[in-house]
A and B are shown apart, each in its own frame.
Chain A
Amino acid sequence: MAYLVAAALVLPLLAPEVWGGFRLGPADNVLGTIAPTEQPMSLRSPGGEWAIGLALVWFALAYWRRSPTWWQPILVILGTTAALIRSGNAWLDAVALVVPLGVQISSLRLPHRVVVAAAAIGLLTAAFTVWTTRPPALPQAAVTAAQGVPGTVFAEWQWAPQLQRDLGPDHHVLAAAGLASETPSFWLDYVRITQDYEQWPSELRGLNADVLVLSTDYPVVEQVRSSAAWHVVYDGGGALVAQRAEP
């Protein structure tokens, strides 16, 4: 039972990576401006407080009981360090924490209702984290609009994988295989374009992009709307689809 509680408590650490895929690696400055999970873990990271909180709970129990075996601190330090290096590595932290946390919880002999409450808190927090970190929804109308426009698609990175599946092999959606599928140089361009860098039209030309599928939260959207070089084919529901108006 204690190990089940521990498993429920570490679930929120897995939640942020549900949408982007479980990957182990170092943090990246450029990707970090796009996805919080690519930053080193901090107080502001999704699940940051939870990860450090769980490590502290383990430590508090171990300190109180004076019973940690040598491998427990090693697992906790390894897992926490992985998460601190890159927030998206928190899934490894979850895996590393389950057993040490379970061992400590099992020594507590908690009443049944406390066990159930702790597990429920873990599950609810995980569900909440999954919900709050979900990517923005791409309206079906935007997909339909994009289907009618051939060419290479520069899309909001969280929409790119699904958009590629929806549009099929006739279209090439940039970054459709996720954050690891493109070069650092591409992501630098991505940030500059979406943040309305003055040279965004030439940067898009450099990427051979013919179609834009952007979240309307991006500063560049206003420029696209008023640009003679781009023809907006869909604008609504938080998404904008535009087609290059000139060759």
Chain B
Amino acid sequence: MIRSLTLRHVWVVITVGAAFIGPASNPIGLQDVLWTLLRGQWMADHATLITTDPFTSAPHIAGQTLNLQWLADLIYHGLDALGGLPMVIAGTALVVALTYGLVLAAAITASGHLRLSCVAVWGAYALGASNLSPRPQTLAYPLFAFFLLAVVRSEWRKDSRLLWALPFLTVVWANVHGSFFTGWALLGCAALGRVIATRNVWSAKPYVITLVACVIASAVTPAGVGSLFYLATMSGNQIVRDYVTEWAPTSFGLREGPLFFGSVAILCGLMLKSRRRLTPFEIILLLVFGYLAWSSVRAVVWWGLAMAPTLAGLLGDIFPARTQNGRNVPVLNALIIAMVGCLVVVSLPQNKAMVPILPADKLGVFSPETPVKLGEYLQTHDPPPTGKMLNAQGWGGYLEWATWPRHQVFLDGRIELHPDQVWLDYLEITFPSSRWRSLVDQYGISYFALDKMEQADLVADLRADAATWHLDYEDDQAVVFSRAPLSALATPP
């Protein structure tokens, strides 16, 4: 078997292995996965879908809570039940490796060059690296990558067989994450590109049929067609657009900005240098996903995935394959592959403590910004008999995972669950504005769990008002203040 190992295997293993090692060795930074786990646990315990939000105490929007991600909640809960958070991280890394493996297959199909396809996939990975943490969206990446592979095979190999699988995958996608519309966009680009290339409307029939089937399939959710309306509402949510960084338009002010604009410049440079003309499909795909990535920083990861086959094709044209001069040494290849395998195993959260060179902030399951000590404190202390907790919103996911049901956070990362005014009031309180005290009374807040850095001004105000607010807990990161016993709430909760 060792004799059959070639450099081609080495390139593939390094590429897919690196895609695994990144997310596997990174601690959980984004806390969204924690309310995902909590919802999964709740559904498993109650054997029903969750249509309310028992985890946050801030006023909710009217009506039922739509949970389009229920399947992702259950998948992550399943991983958690199997092996705790380390298994959640390892499972996510596997999903990411599968994603870039599929993108690699698409890039090889489009370009015919394995090594340059690997280079293109590295580029795609760099663009998405900040967006590969455990969360429902990550589960959607391999689905998109499969869509990409299916369309690329249809375009370059005239093999449409994989298209039939897409509506079935859409059913899964629509119940995992709201990004299923990117699959529609991909098929739409392919259909339009085919019409332009052939000047024949009927030539796009396979894509149009698949697209229509996918649109219908995306309504196969507990909410039915309502999920599509929900998606439209979510994308137009003013608070999400104005205050959530990952929904902000991509710019140089965000770390993904230079990467995105750099990738556009490199792609344009290669297009000018290459003798190969892009197909109408490729041009439309780049324009659509480029615009998406420019309009929202969280879409940069999709841009990376979508452009990889085109990038590989351009690289393949500019740097044509050379005849192999070097001698193939199967034993060396096997050794490199074994080393990558070792790195994969060592990168797992269960094992990474063995790596002496790993920085301290990468060793834990949670990133250093996570308020673990605060969570431990709240786990062992009851809330005041009346009133609600007001927490640093960015910590909501962790605190509810660590302390619910003993404590109920005010807000977490699920922006769409609460009316806009609640978010504006939260911002006023934590700013803090002249109205913060009356707002605290209005919402019946009896204790605070705050970030000393992010909410430094509010913390200073609370410290200065010792007659009303008592400091219950403090560490290097967080503080807990509760209403002093003699200071009653102006308005009962």
Contacts and interface: CB of A to CB of B under 8 A. Distances in A.
A97 to B, nearest CB: 15
Interface string B227-256: 000000000000000000000111111000
B252 A73 contact: no
B253 A43 contact: no
Contact of A200 (B251, B434, B436, B461): B434
B432 interface: yes
Nearest to B458: A198
Given A63-B272, A73-B269, A84-B257, A27 B431 contact: no
Interface in A27-44: 27, 29, 32, 39-44
B456 interface: no
Given A39-B251, A42-B248, A197 B433 contact: yes
A32 B265 CA distance: 26
B295 to A, nearest CB: 5
B268 interface: yes
Given A43-B295, A52-B294, A77-B265, A27 B252 contact: yes
B271 interface: yes
Interface in B255-279: 257, 261, 265, 268-269, 271-272
A59 interface: yes
Contact of A198 (B261, B271, B432): B432
A219 B427 CA distance: 13
A14 interface: no
Interface in B406-445: 431-436
Taking residues whose C-beta sits less than 8 angstroms from the other chain, chain B's interface range is 20 to 34
Contacts, number: 63
A40 B294 contact: no
A26 B284 CA distance: 33
Max count, chain A CB within 10 A of own CB: residue among B248, B433, B461: B433
Given A63-B271, A197-B457, A41 B433 contact: no
A197 B253 contact: no
A144 interface: no
A106 interface: no
A189 interface: no
Given A43-B294, A52-B294, A84-B261, A223 B434 contact: yes
A183 B101 CA distance: 51
Contacts of A40: 251-253, 257
Interface in B168-215: none
Contacts of A197: 431-434, 457
Contacts of A198: 431-434, 436, 457, 461
A52 B287 CA distance: 12
A211 interface: no
Contacts of A200: 434
A84 B272 contact: no
Contacts of B435: 196
Contacts of A102: none
Interface string A46-79: 0000001000000100110010100001000100
A107 interface: no
Nearest to B460: A199
B242 to A, nearest CB: 10
Nearest to B252: A40
B348 to A, nearest CB: 38
Nearest to A29: B253
B272 A196 contact: no
B252 A219 contact: no
Contact of B253 (A39, A66, A81): A39
Contacts of B433: 195-198, 219
B291 to A, nearest CB: 8
Interface in B64-92: none
A200 B436 CA distance: 13
A84 B251 CA distance: 7
A84 B252 CA distance: 6
Most buried by A among B248, B252, B261: B252
Contacts of A27: 252-253
Contacts of A220: 434
Contacts of A59: 268, 272
A115 B100 CA distance: 47
A85 interface: yes
A73 B253 contact: no
A59 B249 CA distance: 22
A59 to B, nearest CB: 5
11 contacts: A39-B251, A41-B251, A42-B251, A43-B294, A43-B295, A62-B272, A68-B272, A195-B431, A197-B433, A198-B457, A198-B461
Q: 4 nearest interchain CB pairs?
A: A42-B249, A40-B251, A42-B251, A40-B252
Interface of B: 248-253, 257, 261, 265, 268-269, 271-272, 294-295, 431-436, 457, 461
